[in-house]
Amino acid sequence: MAKVDTSLVANLPLFAGFKPEELDEILREARSARFPKNSAVFEQGEDAHSFFLLLHGHVRAAKTTPTGEQIVVRYVAPGETFGLAMAIGLTQYPATATAVDDSVVLAWPTGTWPRLVQKFPALATNTLQTVGTRLQETHTRVLEMSTQQVEQRVAHALLRLAKQSGKKLDHGIEIDFPISRQDIAQMTGTTLHTVSRILSGWEQLGLIEGGRQRIILREPHKIFVLAEQSAGGGPA
């Protein structure tokens, strides 16, 4: 089997403090897999057979209600882990993970986790930090949904996406994977119609440049100002 290049992953927070040979031992337990654009890595409710580290591409994690509505839990960028169901005591995935671009992952069988953690306790503490950070972020999201209007929430969402997965261009920052208005709606707790209206407005003002599943922030700073603003837009 082809060995995974340790240099690609050595600096990830997950592996902070590991020696090369330890890293190697951990990586040996994983197999790598490729998921073409729009294919499912795993589905909500499915048995949690593996946990993952994204190497290339982008993955959307989404949670669906019994009645079929869904929200985007997060977008996974290269270097991030996902599908950690078992580490947090679940036997089934609580969300669906879909590759939004051709993606490559490392996958560890669920069964390896207890053994790895026992041998490398730092794995647990590193994962704890990661999960803790996500918890904070999710609390922030709740706070935003409770206190801000849709326009500001969308602004924040775009800024976060740009920060996490933005590609610098001469004329702005492009979000580096296909993302629809519907996706943004599901990230911010609104409808695709409202998102479309807002983005159209911003495009008029030259703040962004839109396309089919494409968004370029032309004026990140102005969007930032929008995001912080409370309701009133100011004097006419």
Partner DNA sequence: GGTCCGTTTTGCGCTATCGCAAATTGCCGG
Partner DNA sequence: CCGGCAATTTGCGATAGCGCAAAACGGACC
The contact pattern for a second copy, residues 66-105, with x = CB under 8 A and - = no contact, is: -x-x-x-x----------x--xxxx---xx----------
Give 173's DSSP letter: E
CB of 55 or CB of 208, closer to DNA: 208
Interface positions, 193-232, toward a second copy (CB under 8 A)? 230
User: CB under 8 Å to 203, separation ≥6 — which residues?
Assistant: 209, 210
- Single out the segment in contact with a second copy by CB under 8 A; choices: 51-59, 104-112, 118-126, 197-205: 118-126
- Beta carbon of residue 4, minimum distance to a second copy (angstroms, whole number): 25
**133 scored as a contact of a second copy (CB under 8 A):** yes
Q: Are 175 and 162 in contact (CB under 8 A)?
A: yes
d(CA 139, CA 137): 5
- Evaluated on CA atoms 168, 183, 74, 50, the torsion sign reads negative
- Beta carbon of residue 95, minimum distance to a second copy (angstroms, whole number): 8
Give 122's DSSP letter: H
**142 scored as a contact of a second copy (CB under 8 A):** yes
d(CA 152, CA 138): 16
- Beta carbon of residue 119, minimum distance to a second copy (angstroms, whole number): 10
